[in-house]
């Protein structure tokens, strides 16, 4: 199985400041169809996960443009330009290139 | 608005069975792969199973193969997960999620399965 490793696992941030989460996969996530199926999810306290980013850098509908995804191959990053209070929660990367689909351990984002 | 409502979670003894259901609305159910994702207490997310649009393909994580069966009824806009031979390691909140070939996007509020004697 592809192992997804996130860092840091805990990220205290100051409101209005940027934040960045790294995700590294144990294998290349480039699919045979040419796409890279790397997704980012946020799970707010007490809620189900919701996807923010798919195929490395494509934002889902309704996701603020302060969220951006980048990377290639095995190294990927989620960036928040200016953290807001509603951004608190756990963030997970997930690869959809290889079966089974696998998630990272999660990064807890909290306000400092 | 996309809505996914799970039900069927319960406290069950080891070796027991449960059937989870997910009622979908707000989108064309038959046009999407569907998945079950679970989250053990204080743990991260784990993909469990998914099913193709017409139910012709089904995939499972190794730890549930032979014990869990995913199914769907497109006429009822419903997704199911039949869980047999349950163990303590299956204790988790189970989320029904839209999508599943390469990604999922939204999930329901979850249903809690507790396996304990």
Reply yes or no: is the peptide bond before residue A8 cis, omega within 30 of 0: yes
Q: What is the pLDDT of residues A43-98, one digit of tens each?
A: 998 899 999 999 999 999 999 999 999 999 999 999 999 999 999 999 999 999 99
Q: What is the pLDDT of residues B52-92, one digit of tens each?
A: 999 999 999 999 999 999 999 999 999 999 999 999 999 99
pLDDT value at position B96? 98
The predicted model gives B6-11 an average pLDDT of 98
pLDDT value at position A5? 98
pLDDT value at position B61? 97
Candidates B44, B49, B70: best to mutate against A (most CBs of A within 10 A) is B44
Q: Which residue of A has its CA nearest to B62?
A: A100
pLDDT value at position A81? 96
Provide the β-strand partners of residue B69: B82
Q: What is the CA radius of gyration of chain B?
A: 13
How many other CB atoms sit within 10 Å of the CB of residue A32? Answer: 6
Closest CA to A106 of A1, A4, A2: A4
To the nearest whole number, what is the mean pLDDT of chain A?
97
pLDDT value at position B66? 97
- C-alpha dihedral sign at A85, A65, B25, B72: negative
A54–B101 C-beta distance less than 8 A = no
Q: Which residue of B has its CA nearest to A93?
A: B45
The predicted model gives B26-33 an average pLDDT of 97
The predicted model gives B9-31 an average pLDDT of 98
């Amino acid at each position: 199985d592809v192992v997804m490793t996130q860092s840091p696992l805990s990220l205290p941030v100051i409101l209005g400041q940027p934040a960045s989460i790294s995700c590294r996969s144990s294998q290349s996530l480039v699919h045979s169809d040419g796409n890279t199926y790397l997704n980012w999810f946020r799970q707010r306290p007490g809620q189900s996960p919701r996807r923010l980013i798919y195929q490395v850098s494509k934002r889902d509908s309704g996701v603020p443009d302060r969220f951006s995804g980048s990377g290639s191959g095995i190294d990927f990053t989620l960036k928040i330009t200016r953290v807001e209070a509603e951004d608190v929660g756990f963030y997970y990367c997930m690869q959809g290139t290889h079966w089974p689909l696998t998630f990272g351990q999660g990064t807890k984002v909290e306000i400092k | 608005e996309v809505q996914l409502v799970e039900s069927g979670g319960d406290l069950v003894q080891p070796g027991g069975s449960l059937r989870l259901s997910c009622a979908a609305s707000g989108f064309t159910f038959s046009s999407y792969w569907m998945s079950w994702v679970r989250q053990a207490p204080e743990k991260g997310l784990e993909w469990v199973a998914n099913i193709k649009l017409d139910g012709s393909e089904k995939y499972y994580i190794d730890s549930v193969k032979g014990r869990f069966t995913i199914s769907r009824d497109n006429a009822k806009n419903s997704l199911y997960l039949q869980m047999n031979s349950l163990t303590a390691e299956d204790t988790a909140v189970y989320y029904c999620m839209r999508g599943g070939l390469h990604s999922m996007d939204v999930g329901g509020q979850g249903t809690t399965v507790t396996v304990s004697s």
